Structure 1
């Protein structure tokens, strides 16, 4: 099925709107309507701004959840120590197929994001504000908003503002990948642990946070800590933006007060009364079983207690009519294809993990399940960026959440349900090096003699089994491994290996390649 989410899905609000105020009046708040709805914003000195962010417990809304006040103070301290002007970066690189909340804000309330970013830039004395985006819609909206304010990247101005386009890839939203793009390089993680607050854009201390975080800062500045805290929970005040998709009647972006029951959020979007499970936090998140989800509430602590994660605010229930392991395999294959190809755990480990899950679903037995567990353990904590860890978190959560289905596939003939493709993935349309090629490797077992040359050429896709014969994933070959796969086919002395078209549901999830680091 796989219907990708639209750029701007339906938007709903529970309680009084804050970030989404004015959405009932117009499709997009231009500067005039923005000021009518929200009012003017007074500047605030750095320490007062940090105190406010601390008082409202403002943390990053992009998934990591790092306290914003700590970031702000760290950047200010580093800038003062080094005697350089810092840089502010809005991370709008929403490359995950299940997330649209930042896209909605950038398309419909761009000035609210700019308010927060300009507030931080003025408090820090920054001379450059960069905004990273992944889509035509968000780029057009933000460029129009900057034009309405008279802001540009021209030299000689007090504050230069630059819009940077990044590819719509999972790894493009990683902090160091965004900084690389702003610097004019590829949108790839740096592969080394360097704090942006010490050295970011152009080597300067850099304050980087996602679009919703800056919008929340603008709301908190207008309301003040006390009024902001009247909504939500004592330890997690305010509202949160969610993207709800999966087995729902209509994919929706919602603004809800922290503390709203998860069950109510799903009911608003037409989810099944009792879903099998709910994927929380997106494709780097974790599954919450259906019964536990009925009693969970929307908050970082509560979601973690329930075994899930709030993360980037993606909520994806799945109904009883689809195979949860088949759904997870589709996501695992996509995550493997999203590798930056810069480290072994990502380049080799994630395809091996996806292949292992495919073998389990194909009736590989307890041996294949144990091999999958070993692969995920080997990948964890060893990647150059957060993508391998996030992907392994998803896979390990899948194995833990669906034990009955796992047993049916491992010990029997499967669960008997089709994979309906309810978890959204990108639409066909482009080919990029991390994207499946539309082909898969196949073996003619009547010819194979177990020489093992193929496993040496393309170990990402083929490994030798305990019986001395190759085992390989029933999954599409990623574009960046296609040449190696062709080489493995040519090197097979028995002519037993071939490339063939992948099944339709494994056809390339391709998208139009976007220029990296282009402003």
Structure 2
């Protein structure tokens, strides 16, 4: 996929990472400096202390303390004769529900480069590599590197395959080193051996952008936003479409309201390796590690996915589980066989396979846990388990044949196929009400009897919202969108 969706932008309070983007779609070098000012230089000890003082953690999922990563790279470099180190920016969002790093690299790439080059200068790193997966993001970063002139020559931009597992640390580094972009399955610390075999500071796009902001503000000013225990702002991707910068501690329902949505049937936090919050928990949640920890959830890479009332939870979950099975790295049995088998039995349960089908889902989940070469099988199994716990009645009703009567609207985003989507008519249900042509006259034609003239109609991308409206309005539930 060369270019995915471009996110909308929003903020709660005064923006930091997204500053200036209310006046320009993209901050070039000149506009960037006008908004943020020059970047100070930092001694390694100063930068480590700064990261400690603002309690900066990785924003790519695991939340590992950034200062500890820097100290580990420095220690590893001391143990080498050449003392060489490297810096890697992970901008490969293989998670279709997350667009925050894409937003930064498309709209504010110099802030990310500032943070990476600041860290590289402190470490004495010879090379900075920025790994991306989208063509439009690659172009934006390359333009930013060129805008820096000679200072940008030490930055290498690499485009890697767009897959869910590309962002895993060992997969990313192996891809940058010219190998297969696959998890190694080994406990290899990039701080010891990473890019070109050198001790490498690897973190995600937002982390480096936060470092650049903190270096300009200083620890005390940086801590004026957010919670005392979790200072600063956080980037969230809401409903797979809007990137919001918010201080930590903000009410989660308020962020959803800002994006024109609400908790609905529940909220998936942390993306497709994350956890479902029921509506009551979601309404009580704050955007903070501590708040989500009490609910058994993690913010991860910042994906927040509310599930609308008019879509089928069981069908949505089965659809994502099938896609996750297809994202296997192909290196171990739990991924190659276990995840497709889990998707199969989940589909069977959703289609009315009975209590035995639900039991088979539980068995398949247990069979992949703790056995994968990477975390993908465990994460996918946890996603399904969380859904079963959050929507027990939905899955039971589907398994026993009654279902919920709602269509699967694709509220949980997945990458779009290169082939166009189609509006499909189920002739066993269609009663010729004709409402579809009222909503979508550019796509639907009626025959002489008042029924759609075609069973399958191409939906141009710009008409997808209207097609979804037609699906929702059909009284007979006879329409669906097929990718």
Q: Place the TM-score, normalised by the shorter chain, in its bin.
A: 0.7 to 0.9
1:259 aligns with 2:259: no
Q: Partners in 2 of 1:112 and 1:54 — Cα distance? A: 20
1:114 aligns with 2:130: no
Q: Partners in 1 of 2:228 and 2:111 — Cα distance? A: 24
Q: Partners in 1 of 2:171 and 2:335 — Cα distance? A: 15
User: Contact (CA 8 Å) 2:112, 2:205: kept in 1 or not?
Assistant: yes
Q: Partners in 1 of 2:481 and 2:162 — Cα distance? A: 21
Q: Partners in 2 of 1:317 and 1:118 — Cα distance? A: 37
TM-score w.r.t. length of structure 1 = 0.79
Instruction: Kindly report which structure 2 residues correspond to 1:71-470, keeping only aligned pairs within 5 A, or say none.
Output: 71-83=69-81, 84-151=83-150, 160-245=154-239, 251-272=241-262, 274-429=263-418
Alpha-carbon distance, 1:6 to partner: 5.1
Q: Partners in 1 of 2:269 and 2:293 — Cα distance? A: 10
Q: Partners in 1 of 2:74 and 2:267 — Cα distance? A: 40
| Number of aligned residue pairs | 422
User: Contact (CA 8 Å) 1:5, 1:424: kept in 2 or not?
Assistant: no
User: Contact (CA 8 Å) 2:333, 2:372: kept in 1 or not?
Assistant: yes
Residue 478 of structure 1 aligns with which residue? none
More moved, 373-382 vs 303-312: 303-312
User: Contact (CA 8 Å) 1:344, 1:383: kept in 2 or not?
Assistant: yes
Change (3 A) 1:179 1:228: same
Q: Partners in 2 of 1:425 and 1:52 — Cα distance? A: 38
Q: Secondary structure at the match of 2:79?
A: helix
Q: 2:33 aligns with which of 29, 32, 35?
A: 35
User: Contact (CA 8 Å) 1:5, 1:97: kept in 2 or not?
Assistant: no
Q: Partners in 1 of 2:194 and 2:374 — Cα distance? A: 16
User: Contact (CA 8 Å) 1:151, 1:161: kept in 2 or not?
Assistant: no
User: Contact (CA 8 Å) 2:3, 2:135: kept in 1 or not?
Assistant: no
Instruction: Kindly report which structure 2 residues correspond to 1:9-20, keeping only aligned pairs within 5 A, or say none.
Output: 9-20=7-18
TM-score w.r.t. length of structure 2 = 0.84
User: Contact (CA 8 Å) 1:7, 1:103: kept in 2 or not?
Assistant: no
Q: Deviations over 1:174-230 (max 9, x none)?
A: 111110111011211112111111111111111100000000001111111111111
Q: Partners in 2 of 1:506 and 1:75 — Cα distance? A: 48
Alpha-carbon distance, 1:308 to partner: 2.7
Q: Which residues of structure 2 form unaligned runs of 5+?
A: 420-478
Q: Secondary structure at the match of 1:82?
A: coil
Aligned alpha-carbon RMSD (Å): 1.8
Alpha-carbon distance, 1:20 to partner: 0.6
Alpha-carbon distance, 1:8 to partner: 2.5
Q: Deviations over 1:414-461 (max 9, x none)?
A: 12222111111111128xxxxxxxxxxxxxxxxxxxxxxxxxxxxxxx
Change (3 A) 1:296 1:163: same
User: Contact (CA 8 Å) 2:365, 2:381: kept in 1 or not?
Assistant: yes
Alpha-carbon distance, 1:19 to partner: 0.3
User: Contact (CA 8 Å) 2:3, 2:134: kept in 1 or not?
Assistant: no
Change (3 A) 1:64 1:5: farther
Q: Partners in 2 of 1:133 and 1:267 — Cα distance? A: 31
Change (3 A) 1:506 1:185: farther
Q: Secondary structure at the match of 1:40?
A: coil
Change (3 A) 1:345 1:40: same
More moved, 233-242 vs 361-370: 361-370
Alpha-carbon distance, 1:304 to partner: 2.7
Alpha-carbon distance, 1:152 to partner: 7.8
User: Contact (CA 8 Å) 1:5, 1:98: kept in 2 or not?
Assistant: no
Change (3 A) 1:280 1:64: same
Alpha-carbon distance, 1:412 to partner: 4.0
Alpha-carbon distance, 1:22 to partner: 0.6
Which of the pair has the greater relative contact order for Cα pairs under 8 Å at 6+ separation? Answer: 1
Q: Partners in 1 of 2:176 and 2:482 — Cα distance? A: 34
Alpha-carbon distance, 1:505 to partner: 6.3
Alpha-carbon distance, 1:54 to partner: 1.0
Q: Partners in 1 of 2:79 and 2:4 — Cα distance? A: 45
